[in-house]
């Protein structure tokens, strides 16, 4: 009984830590899916938007994705629903703005990102990408749109 209680407490503590919400202002836009958040205590956090991948620099629609993100959140207070750190030390999470808009979902709706299925099995995100594809919104106007992960692999392989 004691071990079950201890296990339950540990799981709940872990879940509450993983679902931490951080509030701050967006002070920088690196690209469509990476931004800089400044908290009230002046901590600068590099944030990677969860579940999506926007076009890389030099890929079609990269500038549009960055501009969309800038127009949506630059200089605004947002909530980061923190999920984890990635291998580059960025905080990965959901960026919520204008009370209830999710930046990742808005980028997908506007055809400016792919659902990053390698890291997310979220059917809502997949549905948003599918709808944008079907309606040929944004980058889906190009029937040969190359996902950023394939573009990065191709670029790496060309360097060898």
Q: Which positions are catalytic?
A: 48, 56, 90
Tokens found for residue 52? 């999506």
Antiparallel, parallel or unpaired: β 114-115 and 52-53: antiparallel
Q: What is the distance of C-alpha 133 from the center of its chain?
A: 19
CA atoms within 13 A on the CB side of 29: 22
Distances (CA, A) of 31 to 27, 47, 53, 81, 106: 13, 11, 10, 19, 15
**DSSP class of 20:** -
């Amino acid at each position: 009984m004691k071990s079950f209680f201890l296990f339950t407490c540990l799981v709940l503590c872990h879940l509450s830590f993983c679902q931490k919400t951080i509030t701050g202002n967006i002070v920088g836009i690196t690209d469509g899916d990476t931004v800089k958040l400044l908290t009230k205590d002046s901590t600068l956090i590099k944030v990677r938007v969860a579940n999506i991948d926007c076009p890389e620099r030099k890929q079609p629609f990269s500038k549009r994705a960055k501009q969309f993100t800038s127009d949506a959140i630059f200089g605004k207070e947002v909530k980061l629903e923190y999920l984890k750190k990635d291998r580059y030390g960025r905080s990965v999470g959901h960026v919520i703005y204008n009370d209830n808009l999710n930046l990742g979902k808005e980028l997908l709706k506007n055809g400016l990102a792919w659902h990053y299925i390698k890291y997310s099995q979220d059917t809502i995100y997949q549905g948003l990408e599918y709808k944008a594809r079907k309606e040929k919104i944004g980058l889906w106007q190009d029937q040969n749109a190359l996902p950023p992960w394939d573009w990065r692999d191709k670029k790496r392989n060309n360097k060898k």
